[in-house]
Structure 1
Amino acid sequence: MKKMKSPYHGHRFPAIVISCAVRWYLRISLSLRDIEELLLERGVVVTYETIRCWCDKFGAGFAQRAKAVRPKPGSTWHLDEVFVTLRGEPYLLWRAVDEHGAELDVLVQKRRDKAAAKRFFRRVLRSNPVPRKIVTDQLRSYPAAKADIPELAQVKHVLVKAAARVNNRAENRHQPTRRRERQMCGFREAHRTQAFLSCFGPIRQHFALSRHQMNAQMNAARHRTILKERLATWHGWTVSDPVEMVD
C-alpha cells in the first residue's frame, strides 16, 4: 500500500480547518468574511481571500464525493430553467432533479434555444443513467433537443404548464439558489457561478435533511443522529489521508 501525497500538502493550515471553512461556505449562507470572523474567534487567523482559494481548489472534489455517496437517482427527470442576472446581463440557469427532489446537475448558459437544451441534456447524461420519463415545461427547445439525442429517443416526455405547479420538484430547487444569490448580492461571472453552483448543490443536499414536519419518521433525535453520520462521512473524505493500492 503506497501513500499518496496529501492534497493539503504545502498548506499552512491542517485539513480539518480547510474542510470546515469550505463546508461552511458551501452549506451555510455565510460570506467569506463571515467565515474569516468565525475562524478568528477559534484562534485561526486567515484572510477571506485564502478561504476563497480553498473553496476553488477543494470544492469540486468534495462535491464529487457527495454525489458518489448519495442514493441512486430516480428514473424521472424534472427539468426547469430560471433567469439569473450576471453583471446586468440575463443568463439561464438550467436545473435537473429526480422525482425525489435530488439535484442531478445544473448549467449556466446564455441562451434558451435547442442547442442550449441539447447541451444540458448531454451534460446530465454524462453523470446519470438514462431516465424512464422526463418532465419539463412547455419550452419547445426541450422536445427539439431530445429528438436529436439517441439515448433519449424512447424516453417518455411529459410537457406541463408552469402555472399548474406540476413541475414543482425542479421549481422548488431554485429556492436555495435564490436565497444564496440574495445573500451574495448577486452572481458576477458565468464561469464562477457555474463552478459555485456545481459545488453548492451536492454539498448542501448532503447535509440538508427532510424537515420534521414533512417526514413523520424524522424526529429531532433521528435528525441529529443522521446529521452526525453525514458529518462523520464528510470528515472521512476531507480529513483522512488518501491511500493508493499498488501491485
Structure 2
Amino acid sequence: MRFWWKRFGPMFARDIRRQRISRMRGFRHWRWHLDEVFAMINGETHYLWRTVDHEGELLESYVTRTRGKKAALPFMKKALKRNGSPERITTDGLRSYQAAMRGLGNGHRQEIGRHADSRVESSHLPFRRRERAMLRFGRMASLQQFASVHANVHNHFNLERRLVDRQT
C-alpha cells in the first residue's frame, strides 16, 4: 500500500483537493481553525502547524523547529495560496498568529477564543494515535511527509457520523 501511495497517491490527492477547494471557494461561511502541536524528533521538540476547516477536514500541515512569527508566516502563506481565503480564521491565543495575520493583512478575519479551536484540537487525536503506533519520527522530512499523507487518507475515509442517521 505504501509503495502504491508513493507512486499514484499524490495524483489522486491533488485531484480530490482541487475539487473540494473549487467547491468551497464559493461557500460564503468557510471557517478555518489553526493550531500547532508539538512532536518529538530525536529528542528535540518540533512543531506541526495544522489547518482544519469547519467540517473537520485537514487542509494543510507544516513542520517547523520554532513556534514564532517567522514559522507561522510561511505556514499561513502556504495555506492561503493552496486553499483560498476563508471568511473567518479561528486560533488560540498564541501571538504568532496575530503577528502573521497582521503581516498578511488578515487581522480582521481572526477570531480568538479559549474553546473556539476545539475543532482542530480534536483533529490531533487520530494523528497522535498513528504517531504512537509508528514509534515517533526520526527526521523532519519524514514527519512532514507522514502528516500530509495521513491528512489526505484520513479526509478521504473519515465518515462524519453526525451526518448519518441512526437507521443507516
Taking structure 2 as the reference length, what is the TM-score of the superposition?
A: 0.87
- Distance, in Å, in 2 between the alignment partners of 1:147 and 1:217 is 43
Task: Give SS of 1:80's match.
Answer: strand
Query: 1:186 — aligned with what?
Result: 136
Quick one: which amino acid aligns to residue 160 of structure 1?
A: G
What is the CA distance between 1:100 and its match in structure 2?
1.3
Higher-strand-fraction structure: 2
Write out aligned runs for 1:4-83 (5 A): 21-22=1-2, 51=3, 54-70=4-20, 71-72=23-24, 75-83=30-38
Identity within the alignment, %: 36
After TM superposition, give the deviation of residue 202 of structure 1 in Å.
1.7
What amino acid sits opposite 1:141 in the alignment?
S
Compute the displacement of 1:56 (Å).
Answer: 3.2
CA gap of 1:172–1:191, structure 2 versus 1, over 3 A, is same
Task: State the shift of 1:196 in Å.
Answer: 1.9
Task: Using the TM superposition, give the Cα deviation of residue 166 of structure 1 relative to its aligned residue in structure 2, in angstroms.
Answer: 2.3
Q: How well do the aligned residues superpose, as a CA RMSD in angstroms?
A: 1.9
Asked if the contact 2:24/2:30 (under 8 Å) is kept, the reply is no
**In the superposition, relative to structure 1, how do residues 55 and 188 fare at CA in structure 2: closer, same or farther (>3 Å)?**
farther
Residue 157 of structure 2 corresponds to: 207
SS of corresponding position for 1:78: strand
What is the distance in 2 between the residues matched to 1:218 and 1:59?
33
Residue identity matched to 1:208: N
1:207 offset after TM fit, Å? Answer: 1.6
Q: Distance in 2 between matches of 1:208 and 1:79?
A: 20
1:141 is paired with a residue whose SS is helix
- Structure 2 counterpart of 1:75, one-letter code: W
Q: Distance in 2 between matches of 1:180 and 1:188?
A: 15
CA distance, structure 1, for counterparts of residue 12 and residue 124 of structure 2: 22
Structure 1 or 2, whichever has the larger Rg, is 1
Q: 1:85 matched to which residue of 2?
A: 40
For residue 91 of structure 2, what is the aligned residue in structure 1?
136
> Structure 1 CA distance, aligned partners of 2:140 and 2:6?
15
Give the Cα–Cα distance (whole angstroms) in 1 for the partners of residues 145 and 164 of structure 2. 36
Q: CA deviation at 1:118?
A: 0.6
Which blocks of at least 5 consecutive residues in structure 1 are unaligned? 1-20, 23-50, 221-247
Gaps of 5+ in 2: none
Partner residue in 1 for 2:113: 160
Amino acid at match of 1:217: D
Task: Name the CA distance, whole Å, in 2 between partners of 1:59 and 1:216.
Answer: 28
Q: Distance in 1 between matches of 2:164 and 2:159?
A: 13
- Aligned partner (choices 167, 175, 197) of residue 147 of structure 2: 197
Q: Which amino acid aligns with 1:146?
A: M
Aligned-residue offset at 1:181: 0.1
The alpha carbon displacement at 1:201 in A equals 0.6
Equivalent residue letter for 1:207? F
What one-letter code is carried by the residue in structure 1 that aligns with 2:65?
A: K
CA displacement at 1:172 relative to structure 2? 0.9
Question: Displaced runs of 4+ in structure 1, greater than 6 A?
Answer: none
